[in-house]
Structure 1
């Protein structure tokens, strides 16, 4: 399927690996010019080179922490007129909520709620003027089904969801959409590090915990990041203009609900 976004500029945060990289790759395959981002310059440069070679797309690498003012400024300088914005950022490590300090809570809210909102503020008016914009926020399945130890991450992402829900309705008439993708368990470095922390919290082995989690998923497997990237690319496409303010859960059936 031709997604109708060839030549569009896509800004993908935290995209040197994992789900962010999968999104950047899928958008590059669709013909977008992609700006990728990460804190590790060497890994970022390698990712940019690999995506460009695999897709033939123009890929611009911008090193920096998207959670910092300087990092966001560098991204926006590299892509001042983004047509597509994919908000993504690492979440706080799993921790018992009793052990969260005020500073830790503010840091979590800054990374997973305020940073995406600040980027949306910077790009949305240009999208409205051009009458095309796609904003996709990578949140988490834990927004709908909380997980022990991820209270701060879940709360911050739920705040982002609610904040932008109203904004999505304000800009829909300008062909600007805002949607969220809620990943379940995907085979990424984040899954491994979070699993190790949760295993330690619960006093069980990492292998036992991951095996039990895999078996709890109706699909009986962890997700492939490529599957996630394809969904992101469709939501960014010209065909998705009537989808906005939605939370797309992609979790192999783990969330037990009929609606």
Structure 2
């Protein structure tokens, strides 16, 4: 399917690997020029060059933590009039809520709620004036389904979802949409490292631990960054203008619900 976004400019945060890379790759395949971001400059450079050579699109690299205001300024300077914004950032590590300090809580809320809101604020009026805009926020299935130890991540991402719910309705008539993708268990560096740690602790193989991780997923497997990115690209397409304010669960059926 032709997505109708060839030549559009997209900012994709935390896109040097994992789900962010899946989104950047799918948007590049659709013909979008990219501003990519990642904390590891070397990894980011290699990833960006691979996308350039594969898809023939322009790619600007902005290394650093997107929660740093100077990095956000650099992203916006590289694409002052973006058509697409994909908000993404790493979440806080597993930790019992009793162990959370005030500083840790402030960092979690800044990383996973305030940072994406500030980027939305920076781009939404320009999108509205131009009559096209797509904003996609990568959150987590834990917004719907609590996971003990990820309370800070879940709370901050739920706050982002609620905050933007009303905002989305104010710009829908300008052909600007705001949606969220909620990943379940995906085959990324983070879950692989977690599987390796758990496997070593349990004295089993990584393959067996991965099988255990997948055992409660009706699809019987972990998701891939590629299929995640394809959903993101569709939400950014001209065909998705009537989808806004929605939280799209991508979890292989893991969240059991009729609605």
TM-score scaled by length of structure 2:
0.95
Deviations for 1:29-58, whole angstroms, at most 9, x for unmatched residues?
Answer: 101111100111110000000111111111
Aligned runs of 1:134-173 on 2, under 5 Å?
134-173=134-173
Equivalent runs, 1:1-259 vs 2, <5 Å: 1-195=1-195, 199=198, 204=202, 207=206, 210-259=210-259
Cα deviation digits, residues 209-233 of structure 1 (max 9, x gap): 5432210101111001100000000
Per-residue Cα deviation, 1:135-168 (whole angstroms, up to 9, x for no partner): 0000001111111211111110000000000000
Q: Deviation per CA, 1:52-110, whole angstroms, max 9, x where unpaired?
A: 11111111111121001111011001010010000000000111111111110110000
5+ long unaligned stretches in structure 2: none
Rounded to whole Å, the distance in 2 between the matches of 1:101 and 1:194 is 24
* Aligned residues of 1:94 and 1:194 also touching (Cα < 8 A): no
Structure 2 distance, partners of 1:244, 1:147, is 26
Give distance in 2, aligned partners of 1:95 and 1:18: 22
Instruction: Give the secondary-structure state (helix, strand or coil) at the position aligned to 2:215.
Output: helix
Taking the aligned partners of 2:117 and 2:232, their CA distance within structure 1 comes to 19
Query: Which one is further off, 144-153 or 114-123?
Result: 144-153
Moved more, 8-17 or 54-63: 54-63
SS at match of 1:135: strand
Are the structure 2 counterparts of residues 204 and 144 from structure 1 closer, same or farther at C-alpha, using a change threshold of 3 Å? Answer: farther
The CA deviation string for residues 191-213 of structure 1, in whole angstroms up to 9 with x for no partner, is: 2345567x49xx75684654322
Q: Give the TM-score of the pair, scaled to structure 1.
A: 0.95
Structure 1 243/26 Cα, relative in aligned 2: closer, same or farther at 3 Å?
same
Asked if the contact 1:136–1:180 (Cα under 8 Å) also holds between the matched residues in 2, the reply is yes
Kindly state the Cα deviation for residue 241 of structure 1 after the two structures are TM-superposed. Answer: 0.3
Alpha-carbon distance in 1 for matches of 2:202, 2:151: 20
Q: Secondary structure at the match of 2:28?
A: helix
- Residue 6 of structure 1: SS of its match in structure 2? coil
Unaligned 5+ residue runs, structure 1?
Answer: none
Secondary structure of 2:227's aligned partner: helix
